[in-house]
């Protein structure tokens, strides 16, 4: 195996599907998702609420409820995550892959101090004494730029502001030097100034620690700041993947185009906004054919009847769309070809 091939092994996901039992039937929330994340790279999962982004992220840590069914493959450094026993899974979470949750107030334990929670993670993985672990916890809080870090070490989550709780959550995620960091919309609830600070902090830490990162967001502006590549999700499926610059300047899927048109820019007036019509689909009752067809102004008969394949357009750009596949001849395809 070459050096380039070894780098791909940071995280590899193939044909991942996740279903949850609702009533008497399973509902597929994530459908046939595949991607690879190289060492030190950052990927953004982009899409509206309900598209399956957070479920995909949690699947990478095997954070499933009892009513979940999972198919496909998740490999971290070549190891099969879905085959881990309890001991291997405990070691994997935090040390190999760690997660920053969307709302730290609910992710952090309200009855333990910030320092105790960080120290507990370190002791559990590295088997050092608690005094040394608290020193490491203090160092981590300083690294993520928590002011008066020594005093915050003994604070409870409710005693911190939203921005400081998020920094504490990042320190907890970094406590065991993970190889891959998962960030589930970690700046959504923060004001714009704090959001920029957190994004810059994550970018600096990723470069400093040579971590790979997957960042979930519905904000294209955030995606530009943190990602090398973008993977656009809709209805539990990946619709388009590629380098950030290519996705932003040469989008091939109508959904990606719609996200770009409906994004507020500093110079955008209210009249210039062009939102995507309709609403995201009910994941339990997806339409036949292309899942975006009911909201797509380009949709033809083939779109409503057949599911497009996920095809490569160049080395790094892939799209699931008949319009991209058939090009100029697509406008005449009102029926499914025989």
Question: 290 with 322, same domain?
Answer: yes
Distance CA 120, CA 139 (A): 15
Q: What pLDDT sits at residue 338?
A: 41
**How many other CB atoms sit within 10 Å of the CB of residue 190?**
18
**Would you mind telling me the total number of residues written for the chain in this entry?**
338
Nearest CA-CA partner of 280 in 236, 310, 230, 215: 236
Question: 84 with 184, same domain?
Answer: yes
Q: Which domain holds residue 308?
A: 3-96+178-332
* DSSP 8-state class, residue 167: H
Domain harbouring 233, CATH code: 3.40.50.300
Question: 36 with 138, same domain?
Answer: no
Question: 155 with 201, same domain?
Answer: no
Domain contains 338: no
Burial 257-285 (b: 16+ CB within 10 A, else e): bbbeeebeeeeeeeeeeeebeeebbebee
Distance CA 162, CA 187 (A): 10
Q: What pLDDT sits at residue 269?
A: 56
Question: 53 with 185, same domain?
Answer: yes
Q: What pLDDT sits at residue 162?
A: 87
Residue that terminates a domain, selected from 149, 177, 205: 177
Question: 114 with 190, same domain?
Answer: no
Q: What pLDDT sits at residue 130?
A: 92
Domain contains 304: yes
Q: What pLDDT sits at residue 203?
A: 87
Domain contains 258: yes
Q: List all residues 6 or more positions away from 284 whose beta carbon is below 8 Å from its beta carbon.
A: 22, 27
Domain contains 229: yes
Q: What pLDDT sits at residue 212?
A: 93
- Is-contact 235 291, C-beta < 8 A? yes
Write out pLDDT tens, residues 42-86.
999 999 988 999 999 999 999 988 889 999 999 998 899 999 999
Token pair 């294209």: residue: 220
- Is-contact 54 99, C-beta < 8 A? no
Distance CA 177, CA 245 (A): 30
Residue that terminates a domain, selected from 177, 195, 229: 177
Q: What pLDDT sits at residue 282?
A: 92
Q: What pLDDT sits at residue 290?
A: 96
Write out pLDDT tens, residues 261-271.
887 665 555 55
Nearest CA-CA partner of 33 in 60, 8, 6, 10: 60
- Is-contact 105 168, C-beta < 8 A? no
Question: 173 with 202, same domain?
Answer: no
Distance CA 335, CA 312 (A): 24
Domain contains 311: yes
Question: 128 with 197, same domain?
Answer: no
**Number of domains, the chain:** 2
Question: 311 with 209, same domain?
Answer: yes
> pLDDT of the chain along its 338 residues, tens only?
344 444 446 899 999 999 999 888 999 999 999 999 998 999 999 999 889 999 999 999 999 888 899 999 999 988 999 999 999 999 999 989 999 988 888 889 999 999 999 999 999 888 889 999 999 999 999 989 899 999 999 999 999 998 899 999 999 999 988 999 999 988 876 788 888 888 888 888 888 888 999 999 888 888 888 899 999 999 999 999 999 999 999 999 999 999 988 876 655 555 567 789 999 999 999 999 999 999 999 999 999 999 999 999 988 899 999 999 998 788 766 655 44
Distance CA 291, CA 254 (A): 12
Write out pLDDT tens, residues 207-243.
888 899 999 988 888 888 889 999 999 999 999 999 9
């Amino acid at each position: 195996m070459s050096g380039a091939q070894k780098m791909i092994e940071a995280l590899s996901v193939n044909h991942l599907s996740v279903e949850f039992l609702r009533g008497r039937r399973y509902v597929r929330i994530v459908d046939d998702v595949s991607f690879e994340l190289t060492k030190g790279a950052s990927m953004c999962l982009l899409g509206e609420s309900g598209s399956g982004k957070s479920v995909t992220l949690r699947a990478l840590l095997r954070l499933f409820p009892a009513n979940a069914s999972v198919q496909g493959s998740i490999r971290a450094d070549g190891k099969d995550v879905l085959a881990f026993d309890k001991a291997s899974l405990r070691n994997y979470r935090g040390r190999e892959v760690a997660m920053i949750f969307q709302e730290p107030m609910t992710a952090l334990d309200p009855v333990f101090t910030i320092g105790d929670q960080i120290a507990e993670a370190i002791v559990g993985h590295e088997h050092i004494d608690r005094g040394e672990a608290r020193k490491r916890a203090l160092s981590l809080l300083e690294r993520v730029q928590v002011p008066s870090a020594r005093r915050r070490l003994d604070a409870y989550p409710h005693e911190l502001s939203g921005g400081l709780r998020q920094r504490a959550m990042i320190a907890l995620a970094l406590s065991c030097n993970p190889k891959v960091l998962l960030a589930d919309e970690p700046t959504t609830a923060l004001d714009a100034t704090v959001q920029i600070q957190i994004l810059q902090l994550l970018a600096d830490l990723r470069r400093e620690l040579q971590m790979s990162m997957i960042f979930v967001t519905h904000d294209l502006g955030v995606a530009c700041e943190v990602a090398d590549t973008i993977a656009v999700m809709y209805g539990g499926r990946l619709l388009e993947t590629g380098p950030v610059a290519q996705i932003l300047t040469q989008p091939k899927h109508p959904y990606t185009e719609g996200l770009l048109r409906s994004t507020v820019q500093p110079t955008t007036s209210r009249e210039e906004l062009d939102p995507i019509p309709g609403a995201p689909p009910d994941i339990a009752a997806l339409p036949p054919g292309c899942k975006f067809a009911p909201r797509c102004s380009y949709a033809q008969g083939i779109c409503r009847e057949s599911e497009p394949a996920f095809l490569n357009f160049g080395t790094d750009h892939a799209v699931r769309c008949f319009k991209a596949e058939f090009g100029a001849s697509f406008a005449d395809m009102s029926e499914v070809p025989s």
